[in-house]
Amino acid sequence: MIRLIPLGGLGEIGMNAFAIEYQDDVIVIDCGIYFTGLDHLGVNFAAPNLHALRDKRIVAFIMTHGHEDHIGAIPFVIKGGYKAPVYASPFTSALLAAKALDQGCEIDLRTFEVGATLDLHPFTIETISVNHSIIDAVALVITTPRGVIIHTGDFRIDEKPFYGQQMTLKSFQKEKNVLALLSDSTNAEKTCANHSESSLIPTFEELIQSAPQLTIVSLFASNIGRLGQLFAVAKKLEKRIFLLGRSMQQNVELAAEKGYIDMSILTQDIGAHPRKKILVLATGSQGEVRSGLSRIASNQHPLLKLEPQDRVILSSKSIPGNERAINTMVNQLFMQQADVFYDGAHHTHVSGHASRPELEALMCAVRPQTLIPIHGEMRHLIQHADLATKNNIPHLIMQSGDIWEYGTSWTKVSSTRDTRVHLSESIAIMEGLIRERRHLAQKGAIFVAAYQDDDSGKILDWSLESIGISVNIRAVADEALHLYAKKGLFGKDLAEKVRLELRRHMQRITGEKPITVVQVMG
Ligand SMILES: [Zn+2]
């Protein structure tokens, strides 16, 4: 019996994790985090809930590439007791090793070369090089005793990547009778062909050369192909590069160690060179509050203040949910009289995900028994499925939290929507706590403390504090305390009566029941 268990990333952007089970042996493909955004009640991100695998033998975690939404949850699930070796390509493995060090977590890392075959009984897994916005990305051809399943990871077909070769469909065509093709749906809405990564070079060259003053380019630190282009352009234009942001420094060092980037044009001191000679590479293209670029935009960066005519190039797309933060940051940059260039208005970014023509090319090369769209919100999954129908390929829409079984056809055996473990820095916060915080934010809180005479039961003294409460409830609390004390209630019993009375009163007046805490001490 084979089972497919999408743990995250289907019906949402982020937190990608997909389990394949054969008779209680499981492999988990990717295990990423979900960024919850700024307004999420102190919760920074979420990791997939692996509860469905608690009684299984996890043979391995296999990473398709090193993006946070694919590898970011590994330390948390390992700390949570789901222990198994983690297989990753060289660059992905280097990122995971750095993460393990950062988070004080031991990861049993097994590095494979791109193109290698992994023998993980009862699964045999061939790794195939794909193009994406990070190096060393792979698709997986997974042979199980019941058939072959292909997982594309995140991919696109790039005629001219900056590093490596164009991904070929030949390796996918070898497999006949593929049981299921799990394919990246991020750009399933995009009908036009993708530009090649290398098509950005002329834009960068022109924008950086014509800049009258300092230039800042903001991009994802893990996009080594894009960093490579910017280093090449800077070298040609005789600029010095200054790196802003810890992850930018970490990724450039890793890329230099692996021979992708020559660090000789780096400078540690902006002031030592004419402003026009400086190219700053910064993280923070998503408007993250503590990032270098956000602090520059709000004029709070200790090392770098913008001056009129400085140029800022955002070389990225906004991840859904981040639009408001990015918009605020771009407005702040304009207010500081910077020249701002961003995707949409200028050709400063290309996507790392396949658009419809590439998705179609892959599904037609494989001709699977079933196409299963992965990695996307529902609209992406459904539009990807429609594309399969147009090509006479059967499809199946799955959602995070489902469990599907294959006997002679696919059947859904169970489903849960409780798919996330919320995380604040390194502390796991369960759903109940989030509900409590939301309740507190929306309805406010009342705190009552009273002292009661142990013998007579008389209320000796009492006080009331409230947060976010617009109604005066002192008289109600006073009356309830004295009334129920007179009726002979003591301590906890009295507290509970008063608590219920206050909540009933609040609901009558405002329609809401605030969090109410009453303590009666003897
Ligand atoms: Zn990715």
Distance 432 CA to ligand 1 centre (A): 31
Q: What is the pTM of this model?
A: 0.84
**208 domain-assigned:** yes
Cβ atoms of 238 and 277 closer than 8 Å: yes
Distance 13 CA to ligand 1 centre (A): 11
Helices vs strands, H then E, count in the chain = 14, 26
Distance 181 CA to ligand 1 centre (A): 18
**436 domain-assigned:** no
Cβ atoms of 125 and 3 closer than 8 Å: no
- Are both 164 and 227 inside the same structural domain? no
**53 domain-assigned:** yes
- Are both 9 and 117 inside the same structural domain? yes
- Are both 186 and 201 inside the same structural domain? no
- Residue 38 has what pLDDT? 46
Distance 316 CA to ligand 1 centre (A): 13
- Residue 287 has what pLDDT? 83
Give the CA-trace dihedral at 134, 62, 4, 367, to 10 degrees. 50
Distance 67 CA to ligand 1 centre (A): 5
Q: Which residues contact 134 (CB under 8 A, 6 or more apart)?
A: 65, 66, 67, 91, 222, 223, 224, 225, 352
Distance 154 CA to ligand 1 centre (A): 5
Distance 193 CA to ligand 1 centre (A): 19
- Are both 414 and 500 inside the same structural domain? no
Record the tokens describing residue 147, joined without a space: 């058939």
What secondary structure letter does DSSP report for 406? E
- Are both 152 and 274 inside the same structural domain? no
- Are both 496 and 418 inside the same structural domain? no
Distance 254 CA to ligand 1 centre (A): 18
Distance 222 CA to ligand 1 centre (A): 10
Distance 130 CA to ligand 1 centre (A): 11
Distance 133 CA to ligand 1 centre (A): 7
Ion ligand 1 neighbours (CB, 5 A) are 67, 154
Distance 70 CA to ligand 1 centre (A): 7
Phi, psi (rounded to 5 degrees) for 268: -100, -5
Distance 364 CA to ligand 1 centre (A): 23
For β-strands 240-244 and 410-415, DSSP reports them as unpaired
**166 domain-assigned:** yes
- Are both 181 and 63 inside the same structural domain? yes
**88 domain-assigned:** yes
Spatial CA neighbour of 131 closest among 13, 223, 205, 219: 223
Distance 460 CA to ligand 1 centre (A): 64
Distance 170 CA to ligand 1 centre (A): 22
- Are both 103 and 6 inside the same structural domain? yes
Distance 69 CA to ligand 1 centre (A): 7
Distance 163 CA to ligand 1 centre (A): 16
What CATH number did the domain enclosing 261 receive?
A: 3.40.50.10710
Distance 132 CA to ligand 1 centre (A): 7
Residue where one domain finishes, among candidates 297, 314, 342: 342
Distance 304 CA to ligand 1 centre (A): 30
**476 domain-assigned:** yes
What secondary structure letter does DSSP report for 355? B
Residue where one domain finishes, among candidates 431, 457, 473: 431
Q: Quote the CA–CA distance of 15 and 421 in Å, as a whole number.
A: 10
What CATH number did the domain enclosing 107 receive?
A: 3.60.15.10
Distance 219 CA to ligand 1 centre (A): 14
- Are both 302 and 359 inside the same structural domain? no
- Work out how many domains the chain is built from and give that number: 3
- Are both 421 and 455 inside the same structural domain? no
Distance 66 CA to ligand 1 centre (A): 7
Residue 222 belongs to what domain range? 197-342
Angle ∠(180,181,186) on CA atoms, nearest 5? 140
352: left (phi over 0), alpha (psi -120 to 50) or beta: alpha
- DSSP line for 238-306: T-EEEEESHHHHHHHHHHHHTTS--GGGB-S-GGGS-GGGEEEEES-TT--TTSHHHHHHTT--SS---
Cβ atoms < 10 Å from Cβ of 471: 14
Residue where one domain finishes, among candidates 322, 342, 362: 342
Q: Going residue by residue through the chain (522 aa), what tens digit of pLDDT does each one get?
A: 899 999 999 998 899 999 999 999 999 999 999 876 545 566 667 899 999 998 999 999 999 999 999 999 999 999 889 999 999 999 999 999 999 998 889 999 999 999 999 999 999 999 999 999 999 999 999 999 999 999 999 999 999 999 999 999 998 988 888 999 999 999 999 999 899 999 999 999 999 999 999 999 999 999 999 999 999 999 999 999 999 988 999 999 999 999 999 999 999 998 899 999 999 999 998 888 778 899 999 999 998 999 989 999 999 988 777 888 899 999 999 999 999 998 878 899 999 999 999 999 999 999 999 999 999 999 999 999 999 999 999 999 999 999 999 988 999 999 887 788 877 655 566 566 777 777 888 888 999 999 999 889 999 999 999 988 888 889 999 999 999 999 999 999 999 999 999 999 999 988 889 999 999 998
- Are both 23 and 70 inside the same structural domain? yes
What CATH number did the domain enclosing 482 receive?
A: 3.10.20.580
Distance 206 CA to ligand 1 centre (A): 28
- Are both 246 and 293 inside the same structural domain? yes
**437 domain-assigned:** no
**439 domain-assigned:** no
